[in-house]
Amino acid sequence: MSQLTNSIVAVLTAATLAVAPTPAPDGLTQTLDPNQSVASGRAVLEKGHVDLGPRYRDGDWTIQIHDDTAVPPVWRKLSDVVLRVRDAAVERVPDDPAYAFVGQPPGTPVHVVPQTQNQDVVWVGWNTQDPGVMAAISRGVTMNLLGVQGPGGVVVYLQSGNLGAPQVLWDSTKPFPQPLWVETNTHTHANWIFAKPGVYLVAVEFTAELLDGKQVTGRETLRIAVGDSTPVDDAFTAVYTGSLPGTGATPSPAAVAEPDDGGSPLLVGVLVGAGAVLVVALIWVLVRGARIRRRALDQEESA
């Protein structure tokens, strides 16, 4: 894994905290940085439901973030968004060989974006439910991890809940690209583990074959600030310096992972008329109460 060239190991400034608005009651947390003239379109998402996914409009295949924390939900450009994983996401790696793939010794604190929503943590998934995408492709898309830059490893895995071992989908310590098949009209959340706090850039590519046989592809970089003390500005300005593998069709230059230079006017996420389809989509919830029983069970187990 290559290190971020401009990664600043987080020193939290009081000023950063002071300008961060309190979350709106609907869970929308959009931080508008007053110190940068181009900040109007930037969004820091740190709670609520967010999906990565392809969109298809007027022959244009793009990769965007579906921000379901907004009412009504909106799509946003990846360069406009920092996903902020707060310290509320910290869990310790269990002392269980089934979790050796995390690559950290048991007891190590890591940031976990879980498969099922933790109300205090941004909940990141992916969907292939954009109506334009559903109309344009027949089977599904290939979602490819092209590279990760950050202070530690990133693992994305699934708990199928079939008594089997956790299924690792992406692992930043393994060779790239790492393709993953995603069927049309599906919506998935998996577990994301970030080994260390800091800024992560995750380069992804979505490729699909359209009904007419033509291949479309798009590449983007997901910006993630892990840990309360990681300045989100660093995540906005970080530059992906590593080389990316060539996969899928030849990406159009515009779609290649290029962080926004900050000079162009940044758009606020475009409102989708048909987004209502996704509004009713999944707001997965944490089930309360049942935890009490689990604790009792754990005690019984250790007794």
Partner 1 sequence: MRAPWSAMAVVAVVALSGCTAPVALSDSDGRVQVVTTTGILADLVRNVGGNRVVVDSIVPDNADAHAYEPTLRDVRNVVYADVAFSNYLLLEAQNVIKALDANLRGGVPNISLAEGATKYAAEVIPLVEDASLDTVWLGMRVRGTGRQYGANRSSDVLLSATDVSGPGHLVAYLTESFGDPDFYVNSTDGFDPADGYKDDTAVLPPDAHTHMSWAFTEPGVYRLTMEARLAVAQGEKPVELGRQTFTFAVGVDPHSVGGAVLSAGHADIAVDVDQRRLYLYADPHGGGEVHQEVYDPASTVIEVPTKALKQVPSGRGYRFLGRPGDKVYQLPQAVLGRHVHGEIDPHLWQDVGNAQSYVELIRDTLIGVDPAGAMEYRRNADAYLAELTTLDTYVAETIASIPPASRYLVTTHDAFGYLAHAYGIPVAGFVTPNPAVEPSLADRVKLTETIRNLRVRAVFLEPNLRARSSTLVEVAKEQGVRVCPIYGDAFDQDVDTYVRMMRFNADSLKECLS
Q: Residue 250 to residues 84, 87, 185: CA-CA distances in angstroms?
A: 31, 39, 25
Q: Does 197 bind Zn ion (CB under 5 A)?
A: no
Name which position in 41, 125, 147, 227 contacts Zn ion (CB under 5 A).
Answer: 125
Residue 164 tokens read as: 């089997």
46 contact, one of partner 1, Zn ion, none, CB 5-8 Å limit per kind: none
* Contact between 303 and partner 1 per CB under 8 A: no
SS3 63: strand
Q: Within positions 202 to 241, which residues make up the interface with partner 1, using CB under 8 A? A: 213
Closer Cβ to partner 1, 65 or 102, answer by number: 102
Q: Is 259 in the site for partner 1 (CB under 8 A)?
A: no
Residue 292 interacts, among partner 1, Zn ion, none and using kind-specific CB cut-offs from 5 to 8 Å, with partner 1
Q: How many residues does the chain have?
A: 303
Smallest CA-to-CA distance from 223 within 12, 15, 43, 55 is with 43
Nearer to partner 1, 108 or 252 (CB): 108
By CB under 5 A, tell whether 150 contacts Zn ion. Answer: no
> In this complex, which beta carbon is closest to Zn ion, that of residue 182 or of residue 266?
182
Q: What's the DSSP call for residue 2?
A: B
288 forms part of the interface with partner 1 (CB under 8 A)? yes
* Burial call 9-33: b when 16+ CB within 10 Å, e when fewer: ebeeeeebeeebeeeeeebbbbbeb
Span interacting with partner 1, options 13-21, 79-87, 188-196, 237-245, rule CB under 8 A:
188-196
Q: Could you give the C-alpha distances from 267 to 57, 202, 234, 270, in angstroms and in order?
A: 17, 21, 20, 8
Q: Which does 105 bind (CB under 5 to 8 A by kind): partner 1, Zn ion, none?
A: none
For the segment 97-156, give every residue that binds partner 1 (CB under 8 A): 98-99, 112, 114-116, 129, 134, 139-140, 142
How many chain residues are in contact with partner 1, going by CB under 8 A?
62
Q: Strand 60-67: give its sheet, edge to edge.
A: 74-77, 60-67, 48-57, 122-127, 187-189
In sequence order, what are the residues at sequence separation of 6 or more whose Cβ sits closer than 8 angstroms to the Cβ of residue 122? 45, 46, 47, 48, 50, 83, 84, 85, 86, 113
- Binding residues (CB under 8 A) for partner 1: these are 25-27, 91, 93-94, 96, 98-99, 112, 114-116, 129, 134, 139-140, 142, 158-164, 166-167, 169, 179-188, 190-191, 193, 213, 277, 279-285, 287-294, 297-298, 300-301
